[in-house]
């Protein structure tokens, strides 16, 4: 009964893994995640800040040719700069109030146009309120610019408004990176 145990063949070692393939998969995963994060960030940025390229995109976003106060202030110096900054700061609380009411009017208009039932009267009223709020905001900004124009000497006034209202070619030259 003591029979010798049957010889068991040793199990062969597992085949060697290709180390490059596994590392390559990790690299591909990380690259894929990076590309996806970039695309999601770009899409979110476009959704939050609107289109970024070209005059048509700016006009589609409703920006047109805005006055650029920061660029304008850089064009003047000394006491004139301080005077302009003081006037601008004094007008900011009212500007913010009007901008907030304009945002609320935008939201009311979106609600009116997105309602289940299209009510022409409600939509017309929402557009009229939005128009009134926008005109009030632009009137306030224009009044502030008139105050600034009244206190600046002619050379500083020219420099301030030329820098603030950059026209077509000047705007393109200013926004083009130097090579």
**Which residue spans within the chain are E strands per DSSP?**
none
> Are 36 and 98 contained in the same domain?
no
Q: Do the domain assignments include residue 9?
A: no
What confidence category does residue 177 fall into, taking pLDDT thresholds of 50, 70 and 90? Answer: low
Determine the pLDDT at residue 179: 47
Q: Do the domain assignments include residue 156?
A: no
Return d(Cα 110, Cα 104) in angstroms, integer: 10
Q: Which domain holds residue 25?
A: 21-50
Q: Do the domain assignments include residue 2?
A: no
Return d(Cα 166, Cα 88) in angstroms, integer: 19
Residue predicted with more confidence, 1 or 101: 101
> Are 35 and 99 contained in the same domain?
no
Q: Residue 148, Cα to own-chain centre: how many angstroms?
A: 28
- Among 143, 139, 61, 135, residue whose Cα is nearest residue 102: 135
Residue predicted with more confidence, 154 or 4: 154
The answer to whether 102 and 137 are in contact (CB under 8 A) is yes
Q: Using one digit for the tens of pLDDT, what is the confidence trace for 33-88?
A: 898 888 888 887 777 666 555 544 444 444 445 788 888 888 898 899 999 999 99
> Which of 9-23, 70-84, 105-119 is the least confident region?
9-23
Determine the pLDDT at residue 97: 92
Q: Do the domain assignments include residue 141?
A: yes
What is the model's pTM? 0.55
Instruction: Provide the residue count of the chain.
Output: 179
Q: Across residues 8-20, what is the average pLDDT?
A: 70
Determine the pLDDT at residue 20: 57
CATH of the domain at 124: 1.20.120
Q: Using one digit for the tens of pLDDT, what is the confidence trace for 125-134?
A: 988 998 999 9
> Are 40 and 82 contained in the same domain?
no
pLDDT of 122 higher than 80: yes
Determine the pLDDT at residue 51: 57
Domain count, the chain: 2
Q: Do the domain assignments include residue 55?
A: no
Q: Do the domain assignments include residue 101?
A: yes
What confidence category does residue 143 fall into, taking pLDDT thresholds of 50, 70 and 90? Answer: very high
């Amino acid at each position: 009964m003591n029979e010798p145990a049957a010889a068991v063949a040793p199990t062969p070692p597992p085949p060697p893994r290709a180390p490059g393939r596994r590392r390559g998969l990790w690299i591909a995963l990380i690259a894929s995640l990076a590309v996806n994060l970039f695309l999601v960030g770009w899409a979110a940025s476009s959704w939050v800040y609107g289109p970024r390229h070209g005059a048509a995109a700016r006009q589609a976003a409703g920006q047109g040719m805005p006055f650029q106060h920061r660029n304008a202030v850089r064009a003047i110096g000394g006491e004139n700069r301080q005077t302009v900054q003081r006037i601008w700061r004094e007008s900011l609380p009212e500007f913010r109030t009007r901008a907030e009411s304009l945002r609320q009017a935008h939201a009311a208009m979106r609600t009116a146009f997105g309602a289940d039932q299209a009510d022409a009267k409600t939509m017309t009223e929402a557009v009229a309120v939005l128009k009134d709020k926008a005109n009030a905001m632009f009137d306030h900004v224009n009044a502030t610019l008139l105050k600034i124009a009244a206190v600046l000497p002619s050379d500083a006034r020219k420099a301030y408004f030329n820098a603030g209202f950059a026209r077509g070619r000047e705007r393109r030259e200013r926004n083009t990176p130097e090579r």
